C-alpha cells in the first residue's frame, strides 16, 4: 500500500498525482458515467472502485465481469469512461473487452499491476497498482492495492469535479493510516487461524455484505473457493430473504462483512434472521457483534475505505482454511496465474 500511495498524494493532503492517467481536466469534467471491467478479483475491486467513484466524485459508476461484457455486443457511449482492471494485465477476457471497446471508439483506461503488460499497452492511459509480483496464483495484495488505486482515482476525479476539500483531506488522511492498520490486522493472524480451524469443516459457507460490504463478501468467497475448495456463496445481504435463507443451517456458517456505516442496524437485523435459522456467524466489524458467534475486529478508518481493510482478514481466513484442509496453497487446482484463453 505504501508503494501505490508513494508520490501520489501531496503533503497538504489536497492533491492526487496520477501521472499516466492521460485524462486532462476538461476530459474528466466531460465524463458522464464510468464503467469498470475485470475478471475474478479484478472485477471485485471494480465493484469497490465504482462505489468509491460514485461516493467521492459523484459520477454514476458500475462494474461488470469483462468476460460477460465482451460477448454481449455492448452499446458504447462516448461520454462513458471505461476502465479495465487486471493484476497480470494479460487476462484474455479483459483484453478482448478492451479491444472491443477500442474498435467502437471508446476511451479506455487501465488499472493494472504488471507494467508493460498487454492490457497496459492497449489502454489509453491509467494507473499502475505497484503491488509487486503476486507470488501466489491468487490475487491478494494486488486486490488491496487496486482498491487503493481506485480511491486515488476517485479522489482525483472528485477534485476536478468539486469534491469538498474537507472530504478529500479526510480520505487522504485515511489512506495514510492504512499501512499501519493493515499491519495491525496481520498481527491478529493467530486468532484468524483458530477461527479457520473452527469453520474449515463447513458444508458450505455464505458470505454477505450490504453496499460497501458486498464486494468484500464476493472476494472473500472467491478466495475461499480458489484455495480451499470449500463451496461458498456470496450475496448482497438484502438478497438473503429472496431465497438463499433456505440454505442456512448450522453446517452452513455465514461470514458477515459489517462496515460501520449507516447500514449497520440493517446489517444487525440480517444477523438476527440468520440466527433465527440456527446459522453460525463470523462477523468482520469494528467492534464485537453480540449476534455473531465470533467477530474479527478491524481498526476504524474512514468508512469509504472499509472495503480495503475488511478484505484482509478474510484473505487470511481463506489461507488458513486451505492450510487446515491440507491444500497446496501455492498451486491451487484448476487455477492459472493469468487466464489467457
40 binds ligand F1P (CB under 6 A): yes
Sign of CA dihedral 259, 44, 178, 295: positive
51 binds ligand F1P (CB under 6 A): no
Candidates 42, 120, 148, 155: give the one binding ligand F1P (CB under 6 A): 42
| DSSP state at residue 114 | S
- DSSP per residue, 189-258: HHHHHHHHHHHTT-S-EEEEE-TTHHHHHHHHHHHHHHHH---EEEEEGGGGGGTGGGG-BTTB-EEEE-
Q: Which CB sits closer to ligand F1P, 86 or 254? A: 86
Contacts of 226 (CB under 8 A, 6+ apart): 137, 138, 318, 332, 335
Q: Is 337 a catalytic residue?
A: yes
Interface characters, 110-149, with ligand F1P (x: CB under 6 A): ---------------------------xxx----------
Q: Where does this chain touch ligand F1P (CB under 6 A) — which range of 72-80, 83-91, 238-246, 306-314? A: 83-91
Contacts of 324 (CB under 8 A, 6+ apart): 196, 197, 200
SS3 sequence, 55-109? HHHCCCEEEEEHHHHCCCCCCCCCCEEEEEEECCCCCHHHHHHHHHHHHCCCCEE
39 binds ligand F1P (CB under 6 A): yes
87 binds ligand F1P (CB under 6 A): yes
Q: Shortest Cβ distance from residue 129 to ligand F1P (Å)?
A: 10
Please report which helix (H) or strand (E) contains residue 159, including its range. helix 141-160
Q: Which CB sits closer to ligand F1P, 80 or 87? A: 87
Q: Which CB sits closer to ligand F1P, 138 or 196? A: 138
338 binds ligand F1P (CB under 6 A): yes
- Binding residues for ligand F1P restricted to 278-337, rule: CB under 6 A: 335, 337
Please count the residues of this chain forming the interface with ligand F1P, following the rule CB under 6 A: 16
Chain residues that interact with ligand F1P, rule: CB under 6 A: 39-42, 86-88, 91, 94, 137-139, 335, 337-339
Residues serving a catalytic function are 337
Amino acid at each position: 500500500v505504501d508503494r501505490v500511495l508513494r508520490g501520489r498524494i501531496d503533503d497538504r493532503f489536497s492533491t492526487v498525482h496520477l501521472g499516466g492517467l492521460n485524462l486532462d481536466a476538461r476530459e474528466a469534467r466531460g465524463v458522464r458515467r464510468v464503467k469498470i471491467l475485470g475478471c475474478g478479483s479484478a472485477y471485485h475491486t471494480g465493484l469497490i472502485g465504482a462505489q468509491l467513484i460514485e461516493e467521492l466524485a459523484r459520477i454514476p459508476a458500475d462494474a461488470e465481469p469483462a468476460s460477460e461484457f465482451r460477448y454481449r455486443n455492448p452499446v458504447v457511449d462516448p461520454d462513458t469512461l471505461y476502465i479495465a482492471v487486471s493484476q497480470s494485465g494479460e487476462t484474455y477476457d479483459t483484453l478482448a473487452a478492451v479491444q472491443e471497446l477500442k474498435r467502437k471508439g471508446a476511451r479506455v483506461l487501465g488499472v493494472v499491476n504488471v507494467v508493460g503488460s498487454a492490457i497496459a499497452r492497449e489502454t489509453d492511459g491509467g494507473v499502475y497498482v505497484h503491488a509487486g509480483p503476486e507470488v501466489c496464483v491468487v490475487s491478494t495484495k494486488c486486490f488491496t492495492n487496486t482498491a487503493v488505486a481506485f480511491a486515488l482515482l476517485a479522489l482525483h476525479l472528485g477534485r476536478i469535479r468539486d469534491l469538498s476539500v474537507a472530504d478529500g483531506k479526510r480520505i487522504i488522511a485515511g489512506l495514510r493510516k492504512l499501512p499501519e492498520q493493515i499491519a495491525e490486522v496481520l498481527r491478529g493472524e493467530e486468532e484468524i487461524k483458530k477461527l479457520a480451524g473452527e469453520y474449515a469443516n463447513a458444508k458450505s459457507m455464505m458470505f454477505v455484505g450490504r453496499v460497501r460490504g458486498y464486494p468484500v463478501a464476493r472476494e472473500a468467497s472467491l478466495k475461499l473457493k480458489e484455495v480451499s475448495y470449500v463451496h461458498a456463496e456470496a450475496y448482497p445481504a438484502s438478497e438473503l430473504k429472496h431465497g438463499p435463507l433456505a440454505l442456512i443451517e448450522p453446517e452452513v456458517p455465514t461470514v458477515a462483512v459489517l462496515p460501520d456505516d449507516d447500514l449497520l442496524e440493517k446489517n444487525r437485523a440480517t444477523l438476527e434472521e440468520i440466527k433465527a435459522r440456527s446459522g453460525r456467524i463470523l462477523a468482520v466489524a469494528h467492534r464485537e457483534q453480540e449476534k455473531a458467534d465470533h467477530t474479527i475486529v478491524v481498526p476504524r478508518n474512514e468508512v469509504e475505505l472499509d472495503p480495503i481493510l475488511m478484505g484482509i482478514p478474510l484473505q487470511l481466513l481463506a489461507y488458513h482454511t486451505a492450510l487446515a484442509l491440507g491444500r497446496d496453497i501455492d498451486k491451487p487446482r484448476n487455477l492459472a496465474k493469468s487466464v489467457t484463453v
